[in-house]
Structure formats: C-alpha cells, structure tokens
Amino acid sequence: MDPLSACLLLLTCLAGFSASETEEGGAVGESSYGPSSVQIVGVSIVTVGIPYGFQCTAVCYPDCKYTWTRGSVTSQGPELSLQLLHVVPTQTLSCTVFNSATGKSSTVQKTLQVTAGPSNIQISGPTYLTYGAESIFICSASCYPSCSYSWTVSWKGQTLSKANTGNISVTPYSSTVLEENLLCEAIDPISHLYITSSLLLPVASISDISIVGDSTVTMGKQYTFTCYAACYPSCNIVWKYMGKSYEGNQVQIPILHQGDKKKFACHLQITFNDYTKIEPLTCEAMNTVSHSISTSVMNLTVIDPISVHASSKGLPVGEKPFSLQCVGPQNPASITWLWNKLPMPASERVHFSSDNSTMTFNPLVHTDDGLYQCVVAEGGPPIQSVGYQMQVNYGPYGVGISGGDLLTVGMLYHFNCSVACYPTCLLTWTWGNVTSHGPEFSLQIEKLIPPQLLTCTAVNPVTGVELSGEKKMQVIAGPTNIHISGPGFLTAGIVSNFTCSADCYSSCSYSWTVTDDGLVLSNAQGNTISVTPSTSGIHFVENLTCTAQDTASHVYISKALLLAVASLSDISIVGNTTVTMGEQYMFTCSAACYPSCEIIWKYMGETFQGDHIEIPILKSAENKKFAKSLGITFSDYFKFEPLTCEATNLLSNATISTTVNLTVIDPFSVRPATQALPVAGESFSLQCVGPQEPATITWLKNKHKMPASERVRLSPDNTTITFSLLFRADGGLYQCVVGEEGPPILSVGYLMQVNYGPDQVSIYKPGGGPVGAVMYAQPGSTTELQCVATCFPVCSISWFYGGSLLATKTSISFTPAAPPYTTPLTCVALNPATKQNLTAETTVVVPDGPKNVVIKGPASLEIGVTASLTCSAECTPSCSFQWTVYGKTMTGSVIDITLNRYISEESVSCQAQNTYTGQMATTNETLSVSDPQWCGC
C-alpha cells in the first residue's frame, strides 16, 4: 500500500474513533489474547529542560510489542524518555501495542501540556523607599504560557505586607524602619515551578526637627541658634530669616541607641539690626536621597532700644509744620532716616537738625503718611529703630456724587458722596429745600419737574475746611407699549421661540420668567426666549412673562401669556406577551395626552385602528389618558414579532410609540423524520408534527407552495414529504400550513441545509490561480498555497508531501525539501458530514544543475571521417546544450563533426544550461587528430 493510501485509511479510521488514555481489546482463543487495558502511565504536564519518563502497559499473552509515536518520531519498547529543549505546542504521545499471536493491535494517546520557566526574574523600581510616600515596583519573568506573581515585604524577618499581582505599591511601615526587604516570587500556574528575587531597600526618612536658641533678642547683639534633625541616610539644613537663606555650620551627630540613624545639627549666628517686633526664624532640612523637606519655626521677639517720637505738639495736620525725633540711651555716631524702609532725603519742605536727630516737615502734606525710622550707627553694625507710623490729617479734597443724571418718575434712587479726607468728613446733602446728613442720600420723584441741582457738602472736623460737589438731575418717565409675539401654544419636548418689544426713553433690556402654578421653571435675558416644555407630562399650562426695563432709569413694565402645553407621554401596552397560534388575544394601548390623541396599532407590516377609549385621570382635571384595544388571532408563525402602538397629539402632531415583543407558540412544527443529516444524493424525509390531527396540510418552501414530483413525494395525509434524492437546490425553509376549524396556522419552520461534497478540490497560489500538474519551486524558497474545496459544511484539509503528513490547515507556507527533486504534494479534503474525501495533487519540481557535464565520443579524430560526440549533464527539469568546435557554435546534445585539414589536435567545448533556472556549466575536451594519408613531409 502506498503512503497516501495508508494516510487516507488512517484518516477514515480516526474519523469514527474517540481516543482515550486506556483502550480495551478482546482476547482471541484460549491461549492467546490481548492486547487489552492499554494505558500510558506518566505526567500530563511537562516543562522544557526537565526529563520525564512514561510507561505503556497492556494485558497481552503470550507477549506484546510496544511502539511509541510523538509527531514524526517513533521508538520501540514499553518505556519512553522525554526531555523538551524548547517551547513547542501541545504534544501528543501515542503508544501502539501489537500481539503477533492474535494479530491485533490497540493504540492509546496521551496529550501533554507544555510549560517553560520561570526564568530571568527581574524587579524594576526606585532604588530606595521614602517614608510617607508610595513607591511602585514591577516584577517580570519568562514563563510559558504565563507567570503569576506574589510579593512579600518584610523587615528584620517580620512580614509587613503581601500581594498577588505583577506590581506592588510600597509605603514604609513607620519612620523607625531603616530598610525593608522586597521578595518577588514568579510561579508557573500549570507546572507550579517558581523562582524568586529580592531587593533590600533603604528607607529615606526625616523627623524630629527642632530649633534651640533664645526666642527674645535685642537689636545690635549677636545670637547663636542650633537646628537638629534626625535623618536617614543624610540631610542638608538651611536657615531662612526675613526673606533670606543662610547655610550655617552643619555637623553630624550619631545617635548610638538607634543604630544607623543619625542626627544632624546646624549652627547659625545672627546679629539683629533690622527691627520687626515678631519675626519667624525657620530651619529647613532636606533628605539628600528623597528630597523630602521638614521644617521647624521659632518666632523671635525683637527688642529695640532706639525709637522715633513726635516732637511737635498736637496732631500732624496737612499744610502745617511737624517734627520727628530719634531717641536712644546713648549718643550715636551717625543717624540716617528711613521712610517706608527707604532713605529719606532732605528737600525744600523737609529739614534735618545738625546731628540728624530731628526731622521737620514745613509744611506737611497728606502724602507724607507712612512709617518713619532712624538707623543708628555705633561701634557695631547699624541698628534700625522702632518706627513711628504717621497719619496726616487733611482734606476735604475731590467731593464726588455717584449715580446717574436721570430720574424716572416713581422710582427710588440712591446716591453716595465720596471725598478724600482724614479724619472722616461730615457730609450734608441739599435737594431744593430738603437737607440730609451722611454719605448716602435717597430720592424718589412723584411727578415730572424741571432739571434741579443735587449738592453734597463735606467738612473736616479737625481742620474745619469745607468743600462742596453738585450734580444736575433730569426727570423722565418709564417704558410703555410692551408686546410678546410667538406661537399660540407650546409642545412638550419641542423648542418654541418668543420675542418681546417695548418703548423706552433710551433703550430697553428684557428678562423672561416661565412659571407653572407659581413654580419658576426657567429664566432668560434678552428680547427673545426659546421655551422647551418637559416631556414628563406634569405641566399642561405654562405662564410666560416678559419684563422690559429702561436701561437709563431702570423702570420696568411686564406682560404675561398663558400657553397650553401640547403633551404626549406615558404610552404603554397591556396584554399577553406569549400567544398561541390560532387563538384570539386582546391588547390595550394607553397614552397620557393634552389636549387629545389619536392611537393606531402596527403588526407584521399592517396598521389597525382598534377601538378608541378616552380615560380621564381624576388627579389632574386637564390631563386625559386615551386608550385603544385590539383583538388579534395569530395564524402566521414568527417566534418573536413586535406589536407596536403609536400615539399622535392632535394639536402638535408629535408622535410617540411603544413596542412589545410577542413570543408566538406554534403547536405545529416541521422536523426531520430521522436523525440522519440531509446529504446530497441521498434520500431524506420531513414530518409536520402537532398536538392533534389536522383537517388539511399544505407544504411551503421559502414561503412558496411545495408541489409533489417524481423526486418529491407526499404521504397520503400530507404529514410527510420525502425526497428520494436530495439536490443542493433543495436547501431552504420548510413549513406546513395546517387547516382546522379556524384560520390556517403556519407551523414552525425547518431550515434545511443540504450537506454535499467535496465535489472539486484544487491547489491555488493566492492571487495566482491553480498550480497545475507541475509546480516549480526554488530550493529554500517559500510558496503560499491554498487548498480550495467545494463542500458543505466546511471540509477538513490535510496536506501530504512525499507521502508524509505536512499540515492540517487550508493555507500553508510551503518550502521544498532536499533531494530527490521531483516529489508529489497532495491536498486531501474530507467532509465530516458526508464522510467523503477528494484529492488534488501536483508534482513539486525543485530545479537543480547542471552538474557533471561530460562529453562522450572517440578519443581521436581522423581526417575526412565523421565522428559523433555526445554531451550529457545532471539537470532538473532538463538542460539544453551548445557546442563550440573549431570556432563555430552548434546546439543539441549530439553533434557530428568532420575534419578536412590536418592539425595535431582539436579543442571541443560543451555548455549545458538549465532550461528553468538558466544556470550554466561548461566542459572542454582536446581530441588528437590523425591522417592516414599524410606522410609527414
């Protein structure tokens, strides 16, 4: 038997054979039996790189031979050793046991799941931990098919936390922990092999920061402060005072009872020469690894022995002279004056005494307000004095009245009087013969009057200076002729636009309010508004109010519209959702509408009016609910069919709908008469099955009546239809129409799909057509091939190359094997339903050569005598030949040559060329020449 026939026989046998790990066989005769109870003993999961042993056992007498098969590898004996060197797909071991006495054999298979690893484990993440902050670490390893991971975080052997993910977020346990150990374990979930990796990470921390030193200091003296901070691994400390930073002198102090944790200290020396009553001194420690910062603050109380006092009697008053004096416990070497922290120069108005201890303003102006200090220089650094905050009494200047120049009759107006004055001026208002006191004044005009002055008079209570401001007021009347334009009703869910207009003195501004029964629904600004009533159906009338306001006088006028809301909501269908063919059912559709609705039904492409009912809803007198009922007798079968109710508002023409999906139960159905599948070329029968005997039965195919014929026969009662020979065209939907007392009932259908083929099998190159009887392929090249078969359902495909199984898939990437160079490539299509197979074959020719080019013929030539020479070479598929003889070229594998002149020797060359690849090879021969007629003279 040739290899292809053997493979086809094996496929046919395996199609009806379900393999397991133990296969039972029977005994033959009384003395010889078996094999039976064939079994493979061994693991079901193997890991790459690990050796495994398997044993095949069977009950046999007198003895059995064992053959193992794994892919294309076979071995003999009851035991098999296996060690995979790289990852491969799922492996199948087959053990075949043969008893030569009984002539029987039995095969059992074992499927092995392949795993690899874990290996190459790695933890990636930061190189340290920071107390109080999260750090993310990722564990990775090489596993096949995958890895699972677990983490353990510990400190001094104590487990702090665990996790079962590929990454972990770690926050140090406490500030006293100096380092934590991270252990990642990668596990192959199938083989349960594992590998671990760990990291010992230091915890960057900073704590216990404090400042030691005097909290009360005196200007001009030097003080020392020390800042302490407990850090790991180390800290940098800086000082901050009055907007400046200082490094100080930093030292490291080991704390013995805390092991590796160290305390750092930084000393700072300051001489205070700038006065502030209370100023913070800040120490800031930064961890050198994590860059986290911790601070400590000490508020310093500064005592200054020098101060500035007023030497003039009375308060400082604008336009009058005033003096300040620098006072201290001793005579200073020099005095400098500051105003708001800046040097105070002399001028025509500002004078200093000969020793600079006194500064005199002649006169004061209100811009002289500010902080005055003197800077005293003695033996040490300059000392800044306690300051004198001077507030100059001045004014009034620039009296102004806020508010417009227009007054509208009937409107209340408010005015404010502003003035530059210190201390606060006394203010008096004058309007005609009316006076009022205070910074505010209210005015309301009851009728039109001529323009009139409004006056505000300011008096400084210290200086006694008086100043007035005034405003000329004009009196006008407010807006009129307000009007709203827009539609006469609203529609729920639909936008309606309205416009408001009015006559105003200068211009109008507009505002809108939409209400329902006192409830504000919305507000808007501008002369137009878009109103969209809610679709919830709770508002049936809405009140639209427009307010027009004069932009100058702010007087307003309003107008309102009461608008009906055409609404449509709450549509629903009441009735059975499961119905039976041939019975009548009632359905009711209801919808809440204002003012009224029209309801229609839709079912299976048809429209029904139904019976109209109006149902008032008592809790809302203006809203009504409308309903329609519909009676249907179901006679056409659809397993699920929608029943739709559609309601249309008669005022707005808005439409809503609702749908229920009806499940139709059919007491009749079409079923195959046997369990066999419908196969082309074989007989097949269908039955109309129901709960009772029908009066009449009509058969339909794809909704069309099915007539009888020589090939299609009906039983006497029409309950069975039989195809003596199925065609592919017989596929389709088959139903029976049953007539009883009521309307005809359409049964549940049977969708018949005829199984056929394979009818035609071809080997194709994608995009290149069929390969033909011969396919040329270069050595080492790859060709994409497809096996195309006409089948229903899909055929299974097997490829054979040189009689050996190559692949079991439709498309392959084909690479030719080493010599021999002409090998059959076969595609076998097997239909699992029809149990039929068909083969397509091509011969793969791998071009080779030319090699071993040889010239055959006589060793010498004789003058005048014709000689034949033959050129041969090893070529696949074939070679052509070209000769070169005494300067001429000739073609063909055999040539005849005749010499007619004497020479001592003749050179002959033959070039062989492969007819497919064009490759060439050449051989040369030198033949001696003789002439029996030549005398040699």
Q: pLDDT tens for residues 111-128?
A: 998 999 898 999 998 888
620 and 719 together in one domain: no
pLDDT at 819: 63
Nearest 5°: the CA angle 586, 590, 595 is 145
189 and 290 together in one domain: yes
827 and 865 together in one domain: no
Q: What is the mean pLDDT of residues 315-342?
A: 86
Report the alpha-carbon distance of residue 466 to residue 739 in Å, rounded. Answer: 116
865 and 808 together in one domain: no
Residue pair 149/143 in contact (Cβ under 8 Å)? The answer is no
Report the alpha-carbon distance of residue 420 to residue 392 in Å, rounded. Answer: 12
Report the alpha-carbon distance of residue 113 to residue 91 in Å, rounded. Answer: 7
The pLDDT tens digits for 752-794 are 999 998 989 999 988 888 988 888 888 878 889 999 999 998 9
617 and 509 together in one domain: no
Under 8 Å CB-to-CB from 610, ≥6 apart: which residues?
A: 589, 599, 600, 601, 628, 629, 630
Q: For all residues of the chain together, what is the average pLDDT? A: 84
**What does DSSP say about strands 32-41 and 22-23: parallel, antiparallel, or unpaired?**
antiparallel
Residue pair 634/551 in contact (Cβ under 8 Å)? The answer is no
Q: What is the mean pLDDT of residues 577-582?
A: 76
Strand partners, 86: none
Report the alpha-carbon distance of residue 57 to residue 67 in Å, rounded. Answer: 12
Residue pair 546/558 in contact (Cβ under 8 Å)? The answer is yes
Share of the chain above pLDDT 70, in %: 89
Determine the longest span between alpha carbons in the chain, in angstroms: 171
Identity of the amino acid at 679: V
pLDDT at 382: 80
Q: How confident is the model at residue 7 (pLDDT cuts 50, 70, 90)?
A: very low
pLDDT at 253: 61
Under 8 Å CB-to-CB from 331, ≥6 apart: which residues?
A: none
132 and 280 together in one domain: yes
Residue 415's Cβ-side half-sphere holds a number of Cα atoms within 13 Å equal to: 28
The mean-pLDDT minimum among 173-187, 367-381, 431-445, 605-619 falls in 605-619
Does a structural domain hold residue 482? no
* Number of C-beta neighbours around residue 765 at 10 A: 14
Q: How confident is the model at residue 276 (pLDDT cuts 50, 70, 90)?
A: low
Task: Tell me 908's DSSP state.
Answer: E
pLDDT at 218 over 90: no
pLDDT at 517: 81
Tell me, rounded to whole angstroms, the distance of Cα 327 from its chain centroid: 76
Report the alpha-carbon distance of residue 577 to residue 634 in Å, rounded. Answer: 12
Helix (H) or strand (E) holding 474: strand 466-476
Q: What is the mean pLDDT of residues 161-175?
A: 86
For 11, phi and psi rounded to 5 degrees? -60, -40
The mean-pLDDT minimum among 135-144, 257-266, 289-298, 799-808 falls in 257-266
Token digits of residue 536: 């919830």
The pLDDT tens digits for 635-667 are 555 566 788 999 888 877 888 899 988 887 767
pLDDT at 150 over 90: yes
Give the 3-state secondary structure of 848-887. EEEEEEEEECCCEEECCCCEEEEEEEEEECCEEEEEEECC
Per DSSP, the residues of 403-423 read S-SEEETT-EEEEEEEEEEES
584 and 452 together in one domain: no
pLDDT at 77: 92
Tell me, rounded to whole angstroms, the distance of Cα 534 from its chain centroid: 36
pLDDT at 748: 79
pLDDT at 183: 93
The pLDDT tens digits for 490-521 are 887 889 999 999 887 778 899 999 998 888 88
Does a structural domain hold residue 935? no
Q: Which of 71, 93, 116 is the last residue of a domain?
A: 116
Report the alpha-carbon distance of residue 803 to residue 530 in Å, rounded. Answer: 83
Q: Is 92 left (phi over 0), alpha (psi -120 to 50) or beta?
A: beta
pLDDT at 39: 93
Q: Which of 362, 392, 422 is the last residue of a domain?
A: 392
Report the C-alpha dihedral over residues 474, 478, 481, 484, rounded to 10 degrees: 130
The CATH number that applies at residue 99 is 2.60.40.10
Residue pair 140/124 in contact (Cβ under 8 Å)? The answer is yes
Q: What is the mean pLDDT of residues 65-71?
A: 92
Per DSSP, the residues of 744-755 read -EEPBPEEE--B
Does a structural domain hold residue 323? yes
Report the alpha-carbon distance of residue 116 to residue 136 in Å, rounded. Answer: 28
Token digits of residue 841: 């074959």
The pLDDT tens digits for 687-740 are 988 877 777 889 999 989 988 889 999 988 888 999 999 998 899 999 888 886
659 and 695 together in one domain: no
Residue pair 190/143 in contact (Cβ under 8 Å)? The answer is no
Report the alpha-carbon distance of residue 651 to residue 624 in Å, rounded. Answer: 14
Range of the domain at 914: 848-930
In whole angstroms, how large is the CA radius of gyration of the chain? 56
Beta strands across the sheet bearing 606-608:
578-580, 655-665, 640-649, 597-603, 606-608
Q: Which of 116, 138, 160 is the last residue of a domain?
A: 116
Helix (H) or strand (E) holding 874: strand 867-876
Token digits of residue 457: 């008079």
Does a structural domain hold residue 587? yes
Does a structural domain hold residue 487? no
Q: What is the mean pLDDT of residues 903-907?
A: 81
Q: How many domains does the structure of the chain reveal? A: 9
Helix (H) or strand (E) holding 297: strand 293-303
Strand partners, 627: 590, 613
pLDDT at 507: 82
SS3 state of residue 8: helix
Residue pair 560/515 in contact (Cβ under 8 Å)? The answer is no
14 and 147 together in one domain: no
- Residue whose structure tokens are 């070039």: 911
Per DSSP, the residues of 375-389 read EEESSSS-EEPBPEE
Report the alpha-carbon distance of residue 760 to residue 373 in Å, rounded. Answer: 112
pLDDT at 615 over 50: no
Q: How confident is the model at residue 6 (pLDDT cuts 50, 70, 90)?
A: very low
| CA distances to 131, 267, 864, 920, 927 from 908, in Å | 94, 108, 17, 17, 8
Report the alpha-carbon distance of residue 550 to residue 37 in Å, rounded. Answer: 108
Report the alpha-carbon distance of residue 895 to residue 887 in Å, rounded. Answer: 15
Under 8 Å CB-to-CB from 825, ≥6 apart: which residues?
A: 763, 775, 799, 800, 801, 806, 814, 841, 842, 843, 844
Residue pair 4/826 in contact (Cβ under 8 Å)? The answer is yes
SS3 state of residue 7: helix
SS3 state of residue 213: coil
178 and 67 together in one domain: no
Helix (H) or strand (E) holding 205: strand 194-212
Strand partners, 697: 738
pLDDT at 518: 82
Does a structural domain hold residue 583? yes
Residue pair 560/545 in contact (Cβ under 8 Å)? The answer is yes
Q: How confident is the model at residue 820 (pLDDT cuts 50, 70, 90)?
A: low
Residue bearing the bigger pLDDT, 935 or 810: 810
Number of helices (H), then strands (E), belonging to the chain: the values are 1, 84
Task: Tell me 445's DSSP state.
Answer: -
Task: Tell me 462's DSSP state.
Answer: T
Report the alpha-carbon distance of residue 436 to residue 455 in Å, rounded. Answer: 10
Strand partners, 251: 265
Q: What is the mean pLDDT of residues 56-68?
A: 92
Report the alpha-carbon distance of residue 49 to residue 582 in Å, rounded. Answer: 71
Residue pair 5/94 in contact (Cβ under 8 Å)? The answer is no
Tell me, rounded to whole angstroms, the distance of Cα 27 from its chain centroid: 65
Token digits of residue 322: 């005033």
pLDDT at 274: 65
For 902, phi and psi rounded to 5 degrees? -90, 130
SS3 state of residue 11: helix
Does a structural domain hold residue 7? yes
pLDDT at 22 over 50: no
Residue 376's Cβ-side half-sphere holds a number of Cα atoms within 13 Å equal to: 25
How many residues would you count in the chain? 937
696 and 706 together in one domain: yes
260 and 286 together in one domain: yes
The pLDDT tens digits for 843-884 are 888 888 898 999 998 888 888 888 899 999 989 888 999 999
Report the alpha-carbon distance of residue 702 to residue 481 in Å, rounded. Answer: 74
Per DSSP, the residues of 327-377 read E-SS--SEEEEEETTEE----SSEEE-TTS-EEEESS--GGG-EEEEEEEE
Strand partners, 269: 224
The pLDDT tens digits for 391-400 are 899 889 889 9
Does a structural domain hold residue 218? yes
Q: How confident is the model at residue 440 (pLDDT cuts 50, 70, 90)?
A: very high
